Chain A
């Protein structure tokens, strides 16, 4: 066991981790930050995406120790302190971009990463970017629509919601 110190959503946090402890496990089990979800064990589903030093990472592909000293951003840190949803979160609610909510944290964190590098992505670019995020509920329709809407694009001509 070694101590891992990091910043999560701007707050300093620390806890003990084994060498094999994944960042996703450390966030959920050690720090109690259960907003980040784990939907697979082969790094395919993307439910566990967080940002580490500003870069989107599947937190199941990273050891907790590798995140020592890093600034981690998770779904819990996306809304304002008063609970107001950010633009992307609000677009997901407005366009019904989630159903069971399980893949949603990863979708939001992954989409935020896309919009940072590509502020006005095309439909094809959004779909391509989401290759590593699986949703079983929505058929992706409203997720893609929400992300395009969050980027300020007019989505009113996309089939009615």
Chain B
């Protein structure tokens, strides 16, 4: 019988009421009295030297308040990078300066040259058109391998080359890996590209800077997944504002998918300009701006090799990847192709030897950073594609080959520095096999064939590391931040609770799911719990929401704070009941003395905390508010097995997804409805990557897919209903909820299943194809079929 409240129930989302009735509070819905509007003049060339900027005509345009250029930001800090990677020689990565407004050079189409502040957004745009910028265009560096050639044009003149770092992992493993390849009975090699994507949350970015001269306090309203991180980065590194003089608010945020993690120049600009002008300054990105200013994702070019022994056991993996950083280092960019990618190269398999090489490259393109999954989709895609190719070459069943090599004993220390605490890979594969009618596939294939179509089936597994992560570990790996989470639980006199969490909800449903946990712990109704998030003045600190960490880390902080509340209320209850504290039990919202019928209600105890007439004042303080910081002991390791069935039209090359099934192990689950929704959305994005989406640059660094007319977002008719199962549950052993995180799984697990299915379909039509790059567009499929 499904529960109707608490952990494991699926109460309807409370935030839906405002979103469904048009009363949400997104950043662009906010306006501050007297605000001015900013429009950024952006570079339309990918690489050039700014020879002059003439503002005379623009300054004379109606409504102009002030026009800022790079010169106004001399002496102001640059946009910082939050992660330093050390290369295989022990040297730090090359880290270029990243000015708020371009200084001297523009380095990608979209780089901001000037900012026009005016009385209306239309006036700001009109004036921007009157700015005369003389740019000496320089050759653009777009292709990563060409960027590393001797004599290539440098994106940053003051760096030694376009190489950000050359990372080897684990460098000490390299000789043993080489030896394993030399001894292998079979080696499968695959070259592939993980296509460049644009996250495209439906709400474009918005920033409103505000300043109060009397107090000297600055406020930034912004579309962020982590307002505290923005406060720290912008305050400490860019503008020199201490935290107590700077408030950052991220109200309702319309999707993030990674690209709203990062600190952007527009945020710093609006905060800076508000102070300079003593009035609020608002920027709302257009979608066209978003395409050339939101950090992009993925963009890896990889060669992966898998070594097998004569019994088809995996003996070694080695990969060689070029990862695009774009023109500047976005906040967490260096970590994505390294620690979020290399550490996942064991996948679900007991491969004993692994070596990962990554060359991160600067190009004249938009900065590239984390997008849903961030490094883990790239690892999963290459591993699961090369396994399928190996199965083809060896003539063995791809599921059997995977099962044969599954890790089955936990905890399991991989050769790439992480330790999986729990998992059951046969369990998720069993669950998947129950969902897909494998025995009926041949009949379905023949039925498709009778209609002139090719049908294919593809499967893959995935593992991810999320709930990011122990601060001491990530510090060793180069993170310039801790990765704990905080929560303050405030209990009011009449028993209601407010949780102020450093996690941020931008679609994940924290306002509904978090109260389920507290309701379960105390035995009260969920309606007695309110969640506050997204405001640095409320939660004590927060590292925000990304890496599927909200419940695993933020939820755990909330549990720890609630445990402190419960401990204190038990002391109060013991006093009121004149019993020993050890004998007090809390159940169904009441404290009772074990073995007696004496009890006192939750609300009577909370009232006593604020009206402490009969209260153990000598032992404890009045009031009821507790804070906890939770720093996890390890990552969490969700895993799963996904299957896709496709039909290919050989006349046009068009691929249709006939079915998509996902069996995941997320450990314990708080709200199954929300978890299913997260998986659906991830799969939708994964199918988008596999079939449709591509951020495509020409050789001059012009983004060709820079609107929804050219960048193919998945539409409702591109995807099917999905089958989702999470019956296989191996709880995380190191967080109090036993949860693993579900936000990225769908996007990580789905692209290889789609491509495996397409290759399978084409081969069934007699085409000797072993790989086709994403997006598997009709054009690419048709060309592949023509040989």
Q: Which residues of A approach B to under 8 Å, CB–CB?
A: 18, 20, 28, 33-42, 44-45, 47, 74-76, 78-79, 83, 85, 89, 92-94, 96, 98-105, 108, 123-124, 126-128, 130-131, 133-145, 158-161
Measured CA separation A105–B286 after assembly (Å): 19
Q: What chain B residues lie within 8 Å of A94 (beta carbons)?
A: 12
Contact B202 A136 (CB under 8 A): yes
Q: What chain B residues lie within 8 Å of A126 (beta carbons)?
A: 716
Q: 5 closest pairs, A vs B, by CB?
A: A35-B22, A139-B684, A101-B19, A102-B254, A100-B507
B722 within 8 A of A: yes
Contact B680 A138 (CB under 8 A): yes
B141 within 8 A of A: no
Most buried by B among A83, A85, A135: A135
Q: Which residues of B approach A to under 8 Å, CB–CB?
A: 10, 12-13, 15-24, 26, 28-29, 122, 200-204, 252-255, 257, 286-288, 506-509, 673-674, 676-677, 680-685, 687, 707-709, 713-717, 719, 721-724, 746
Contact B708 A134 (CB under 8 A): yes
Measured CA separation A80–B682 after assembly (Å): 34
CB of A143 to closest CB in B, whole Å: 7
Contact A140 B709 (CB under 8 A): no
A34-B28, A136-B713 are known; give 12 further A-B pairs, CB within 8 A.
A33-B22, A42-B707, A76-B23, A78-B22, A85-B17, A96-B674, A98-B19, A99-B509, A100-B254, A101-B18, A136-B255, A158-B721
Most buried by B among A96, A134, A137: A137
Q: What chain B residues lie within 8 Å of A28 (beta carbons)?
A: 28-29
* Contacts A139-B683, A160-B676 given; does A128 touch B201 at CB 8 Å: no
Measured CA separation A28–B252 after assembly (Å): 16
Contact A102 B709 (CB under 8 A): no
In the complex formed, the residue of A with least CB distance to B660 is: A139
Which of the residues A39, A130, A137 comes within 8 Å of B717, measured between beta carbons? A130
Contact A127 B716 (CB under 8 A): yes
Contact B13 A93 (CB under 8 A): yes
Measured CA separation A3–B321 after assembly (Å): 60
Measured CA separation A101–B15 after assembly (Å): 9
CB of B125 to closest CB in A, whole Å: 11
Most buried by A among B673, B681, B683: B681
Q: What chain B residues lie within 8 Å of A145 (beta carbons)?
A: 721
Which of the residues B15, B21, B200 comes within 8 Å of A76, measured between beta carbons? B21
Which of the residues B29, B288, B677, B709 comes within 8 Å of A34, measured between beta carbons? B29
Contact B19 A104 (CB under 8 A): yes
CB of A115 to closest CB in B, whole Å: 15
Contact A96 B673 (CB under 8 A): yes
Measured CA separation A145–B724 after assembly (Å): 15
Measured CA separation A26–B677 after assembly (Å): 34
Measured CA separation A69–B610 after assembly (Å): 58
Contact A108 B746 (CB under 8 A): no
Contact B673 A161 (CB under 8 A): yes
Contact A85 B20 (CB under 8 A): yes
Contact A142 B122 (CB under 8 A): no
Contact B22 A99 (CB under 8 A): no
Contact A101 B252 (CB under 8 A): yes
Measured CA separation A2–B508 after assembly (Å): 43
Which of the residues A44, A98, A138, A143 comes within 8 Å of B707, measured between beta carbons? A44
Contact B202 A39 (CB under 8 A): yes
Contact B723 A159 (CB under 8 A): yes
Contact A20 B122 (CB under 8 A): yes
Which of the residues A34, A37, A134, A141 comes within 8 Å of B722, measured between beta carbons? A141
CB of B509 to closest CB in A, whole Å: 7
CB of A126 to closest CB in B, whole Å: 7
Q: What chain A residues lie within 8 Å of B674 (beta carbons)?
A: 96
Contact B677 A102 (CB under 8 A): no
Q: What chain A residues lie within 8 Å of B122 (beta carbons)?
A: 18, 20
Most buried by B among A74, A105, A139: A139
Which of the residues A38, A44, A139, A160 comes within 8 Å of B685, measured between beta carbons? A139
Measured CA separation A134–B713 after assembly (Å): 8
* Contacts A42-B709, A44-B709, A161-B676 given; does A92 touch B20 at CB 8 Å: yes
Measured CA separation A138–B679 after assembly (Å): 8
Write 14 A-B pairs (CB below 8 A) sorted by A numbering.
A20-B122, A35-B21, A83-B17, A83-B21, A85-B21, A100-B202, A101-B24, A102-B255, A127-B717, A130-B716, A130-B717, A136-B257, A141-B684, A141-B722
Q: What chain B residues lie within 8 Å of A89 (beta carbons)?
A: 20-21
CB of A157 to closest CB in B, whole Å: 10
Q: What chain A residues lie within 8 Å of B21 (beta carbons)?
A: 35, 75-76, 78-79, 83, 85, 89
Measured CA separation A108–B22 after assembly (Å): 10
